[in-house]
Amino acid sequence: MDLKDFNIQHWWKLMAGAGGIIAAASIVPKSTLGFLVGLSLLFFGLGEWINRPRKAVKETVEGVAGFKIVDDYPWKASILGLILEGIGVLLFVLTIYLVVVMAQRISN
């Protein structure tokens, strides 16, 4: 498989799954930063998942009679989705802040 064929149609599901795995894997070694990054990805991915409901769309092909129905995932804001995305962004910003503070303490 070439990278040019690599297409993640539902990247928000991948983000939520990866975030859950990172958060779970960070519990055992007690990695606070890893846990926060995992939670931020998980919350942001879940928020996007909620904000992209499935919608059936008719698709026609030029020169061919008829149509076929395909799934589309347009972005449609919802309160819960926006709240989860906001929590994800805030957790990621908090993680970056903690990394900067730790780096300054180590360098002093």
Tokens 């972005």 sit on residue? 75
* CA distance linking residue 83 with residue 47, whole number of Å: 7
Q: What is the mean pLDDT of each run of 10 residues along the chain (108 residues)?
A: 67 92 92 94 96 85 75 90 97 96 91
Looking at residue 108, its pLDDT comes to 79
Residue in 57, 53, 42, 55 with CA at minimum distance from that of residue 77: 53
* Global pTM value: 0.82
